[in-house]
């Protein structure tokens, strides 16, 4: 089924990604990958994207999408896996090599809207707080996790399914929960 998804969606993905300034030949996409690129998108080779309910049933039928705002920068390393998930980059997001992002994850470096009632009544779409996200190499992010603005995830870290990450996670550690808390150290 995945091979059929790749073949059916390849022309559409190649056309759409090239319109968005994305090196589509570096992307192996099973389903349609929606990208809105108004900033800078640096992509390593072999970015594997599941973007269809038949490509990864854990993704709850959602497709993958990536939004890069004006003057924002998204860097995705080599051999990264991404399943039915969403990235919203309004400042800077870096994802290291060999990272796996499970089904239906959200990675957002923005609050989307201002938290101040005064600012929301003036203009709900401006003055939102943004802060970079850095995800190290060989990180595993479990399904349905949300990574919030201003965090860093160290190399070889594991984030349990359904976690809400609002603070830095050191390398070689497992964190899980809402909010995500330390579970254990990982020995090499």
- The sign of the CA dihedral 40, 144, 132, 80 is negative
Catalytic residue flag (residue 113): yes
Please tell me whether residue 117 adopts helix, strand or coil conformation.
helix
Q: How many helices (H) and strands (E) does the chain have?
A: 2, 19
Q: Are the C-beta atoms of residues 138 and 156 closer than 8 Å to each other?
A: yes
What's 5's DSSP letter?
Answer: H
**CA 48/CA 29 separation, integer angstroms:** 6
Which residue in the list 52, 98, 113, 134 is annotated as catalytic? 113
**CA 151/CA 46 separation, integer angstroms:** 25
Catalytic residues: 113
């Amino acid at each position: 089924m995945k091979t059929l998804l790749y073949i059916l969606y390849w022309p559409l993905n190649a056309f759409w990604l090239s319109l968005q300034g994305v090196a589509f030949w570096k992307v192996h996409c099973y389903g349609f990958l929606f990208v809105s690129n108004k900033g800078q998108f640096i992509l390593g080779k072999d970015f594997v994207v599941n973007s269809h309910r038949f490509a990864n049933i854990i993704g709850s039928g959602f497709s993958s999408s990536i939004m890069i705002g004006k003057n924002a920068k998204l860097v995705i390393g080599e051999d990264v896996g991404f399943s039915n998930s969403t990235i919203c980059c309004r400042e800077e997001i870096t994802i290291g090599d060999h990272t796996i992002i499970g089904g239906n994850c959200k990675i957002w470096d923005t609050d989307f809207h201002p938290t101040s009632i005064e600012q929301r009544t003036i203009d709900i779409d401006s003055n939102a707080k943004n802060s970079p996200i850095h995800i190290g190499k060989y990180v595993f992010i479990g399904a349905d996790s949300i990574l919030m603005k201003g965090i860093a995830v160290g190399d070889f870290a594991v984030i349990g399914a359904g976690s809400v990450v609002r603070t830095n996670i050191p390398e070689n550690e497992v964190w899980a929960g809402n909010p995500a808390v330390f579970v254990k150290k990982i020995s090499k």
